[in-house]
Chains A and B, each alone.
Chain A
């Protein structure tokens, strides 16, 4: 057989489906050593979301928001996708924007980590830096202003209020956890950023497992170092957030999350970001109170984007 004889056949095609086909279906990894002091009948698992092509859980909502907008004709006529982001959502928008030929403009607080801003620039996104003193709420207000002033130029994706955000998790993260745990999950624990992960995954799992407990967590104070997470009482509340799904959120201290990041790396081989450390703190707090059960949480990203925070990795 020569190269000239080689033909693609329907029965054996080379996959040509591109990045979007590889979003989701992330591994569900057990925490082993960090759970050794728990009851033997209690298991803790984390969805390893850095396995997504854009490197974080945000690939799920970003792709669903973009695909929904394309289906609705919102991104026709060369309009730019506009949103505010603390980093990961922007990286996902920029990734799929580059892959699909959609220009992307992002309002980003100027104190976003240097790694995140470098990645956004590498992917060709236009970045509007906002006042670092105003944090992510300042970026939200800037994106709203740009959208109102230039409706012909921008399509405002609005991740905090766009139902395609939580629906992404309803359609993917929730079903994956149900199958991966063989429907044995008893507690789902997720942090509050836009609240999309909690709302979509929690809603799906609750519909299929009525006794499942959905538990939210947030930073313990308005001034905190848990990148990507929101202290709801003092921040602009996302339109998609419904407090009734999970009740009062657990509160995680920044220092506890940072210490956990180090332990996850050294004791579990999981090199993850700060919000994953916070997720582990919250999930283990829930697990400690159980005699038996299966606790599942979400680790949003890997540690690479936090390497400039030198104190974190001592």
Chain B
């Protein structure tokens, strides 16, 4: 099962969990599963039109999905997906 790693600022919406086991064949499905498990995280990741907010970065392994196929990037069972926060302060 793919694993989604959650950054510190979003753990308030995942009951403090730093990793979440998710299901899905691509990034979009994985994120949909995340928001089903933890609905309050949704407005932090998606805008009102249902698109990813522009500053949200997702990595599959070492690669940013912006350099792959965006939210259509395929996800394998053993993949680790990372949601990356912006850089704050100083």
Residue total for B at the interface (Cβ-Cβ under 8 A)? 25
Docked CA distance A238–B55 (Å): 25
B42 CB, min distance to chain A CBs, angstroms:
12
Docked CA distance A291–B50 (Å): 39
Q: A133-B18, A134-B8 are in contact. Are A111 and B84 (CB under 8 A)?
A: yes
A108 CB, min distance to chain B CBs, angstroms:
9
Which among B7, B10, B56 has the highest number of chain A CB atoms within 10 Å? B7
A137 close to B (CB within 8 Å): yes
Cβ of B86: which chain A residues have Cβ within 8 Å of it? 111, 135, 223-227, 254
Q: A111-B57, A134-B7 are in contact. Are A194 and B84 (CB under 8 A)?
A: no
Our count of residue pairs bridging A and B at CB distance below 8 angstroms stands at 112
Describe B's contact surface by its main secondary structure: loop
Docked CA distance A89–B88 (Å): 12
The one of A132, A159, A222, A226 in contact with B90, judged by C-beta atoms closer than 8 angstroms, is A159
Docked CA distance A64–B54 (Å): 36
Docked CA distance A228–B55 (Å): 14
Q: A111-B57, A133-B85, A255-B47 are in contact. Are A84 and B90 (CB under 8 A)?
A: yes
Which among A225, A310, A311 has the highest number of chain B CB atoms within 10 Å? A225
A231 close to B (CB within 8 Å): yes
Docked CA distance A221–B6 (Å): 16
A258 close to B (CB within 8 Å): yes
User: Does the CB pair A86–B90 fall under 8 Å?
Assistant: yes
User: Does the CB pair B87–A109 fall under 8 Å?
Assistant: yes
User: Does the CB pair B90–A160 fall under 8 Å?
Assistant: yes
List residues 28-50 of chain B with CB under 8 A from any CB of chain A: 44-45, 47
User: Does the CB pair A135–B82 fall under 8 Å?
Assistant: no
Cβ of B9: which chain A residues have Cβ within 8 Å of it? 135, 221-224, 231, 234
User: Does the CB pair B85–A228 fall under 8 Å?
Assistant: no
A94 close to B (CB within 8 Å): no
User: Does the CB pair B18–A86 fall under 8 Å?
Assistant: no
**B57 and chain A: residue at smallest CB distance:** A111
5 nearest CB pairs, A to B = A225-B55, A222-B9, A230-B89, A86-B87, A223-B9
Q: Can you report 28 residue pairs joining A to B where beta carbons are below 8 Å apart?
A: A84-B90, A87-B87, A89-B90, A109-B87, A111-B87, A112-B87, A113-B87, A132-B82, A132-B84, A133-B6, A134-B8, A135-B7, A160-B89, A221-B44, A222-B10, A224-B88, A225-B55, A225-B86, A226-B86, A226-B88, A229-B88, A230-B89, A231-B9, A231-B88, A234-B12, A254-B53, A255-B54, A311-B54
